[in-house]
Amino acid sequence: MSPQLVDAVEHCHENNIIHRDIKLENMLIDNGNDMNITLIDFGFSVVRRPTDPLLDDYPGSPAYAAPELMQGIPYPGYSSDIWAMGVVLYILVTGEYPYWSEDRQDMYQQIVKLPLDFGPYSYLSKEVPELISWMLSKDWRKRPTIQQIKSHPWYLHWMEASSPLQVEPEPMDMEIAELKAPLTPKTPKSGKKGGSGRWTPNMKWKKRKLFE
């Protein structure tokens, strides 16, 4: 889960914006070296303050929809974005959806009732299933906030591991050592005594700089 996605959702929530359609298809990655991520498609987003009434419409993609949306019960919205981010993280570390079915009713049963399973993914560190399980809590009141996600041990470790290394360049010798067998010898001027115009092993290089 890119810190840029976390920062983007944090910025939205700090400005009372609930995205309501966070999914991989709405995350664009540029082709530059920085691999910047842009969160797009705010067609379902709403401006909602914490003191406003609960939301009672249910947009979004079923595979990323939180239980409260599948059940059609009023919800605050912010925690539903957290659920969708948890789905994104699950996909990124396993390659699969946490809950999936072609049948909508079966999908409903899975999201609302089926416990989250990490059985086939024993290679995962214990911290990442812990964070995902927290984000995919069935009860929206038990899901973490953005700040709690950013302070979680797995997220902190991931941030540290993904930080670019700061490597100090080694000093470069700006001069080539004096050589006795030049590739291009100094040719004596025509008419100079002893000057044959041909290279011999006794001729010497003059030091020259790599960079002027």
Question: Which residues participate in catalysis according to the annotation?
Answer: 21
The burial class, CB within 10 Å (0-12 / 13-18 / 19+), for 180 is exposed
Classify residue 113 by burial, with Cβ atoms within 10 Å: 0-12, 13-18, 19+: exposed
- 64-74 as b/e, with b when 16 or more CB fall inside 10 Å? bbbbbbbeeee
Exposed / middle / buried, residue 77 (Cβ in 10 Å: 0-12, 13-18, 19+): buried
- Cα separation, 20 vs 23, in Å, equals 9
Looking at the DSSP assignment, which residues form a beta bridge with residue 55? 75
Give CA–CA dist 46/49, Å, rounded.
10
* 3-class DSSP assignment, residue 5: helix
